[in-house]
């Protein structure tokens, strides 16, 4: 496992097409922002584990998948 220290506003890049940015730190919670290609599958760990345990090969329920929100700054 790789451990990194990042400050708010700092990012890491994975495979040239996935960017993870520290958006906010509040107490013990950290808000992360992700930029990734549309074909990438992103799931919360607990949902991923549940799908694997259930043997489900299909897609997660729409309300349980992580769906990227449009960046408010790019709406202009």
pLDDT tens digit string along 37-75?
999 989 999 999 998 988 855 555 555 556 555 554 444
pLDDT digits (tens, 9 = 90+) for 15-30: 999 999 999 999 999 9
Shared domain for 31 and 51, answered yes or no, is no
Whether the Cβ atoms of residue 19 and residue 11 lie closer than 8 Å to each other: yes
Asked if 30 and 49 sit in the same domain, the reply is no
Domains in the chain, number: 2
Contact 43, 51 (CB under 8 A): yes
Domain containing 49 equals: 39-68
Domain-located, residue 2? no
Q: How many CB atoms lie within 10 A of CB 36?
A: 16
Residues 19 and 63: their CA atoms lie apart, in Å, by 23
Residue 13 lies in a domain: yes
- The reply to whether 33 and 43 lie within a common domain is no
């Amino acid at each position: 496992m790789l451990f990194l220290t990042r400050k708010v506003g700092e990012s890491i890049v994975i495979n040239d097409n996935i960017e993870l940015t520290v958006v906010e730190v509040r107490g013990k919670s950290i808000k992360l922002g992700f930029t990734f290609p549309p074909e990438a599958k992103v799931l919360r760990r607990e949902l991923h584990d549940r799908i694997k345990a259930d043997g489900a090969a299909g897609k997660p329920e729409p309300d349980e998948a992580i769906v990227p929100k449009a960046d408010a700054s790019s709406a202009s």
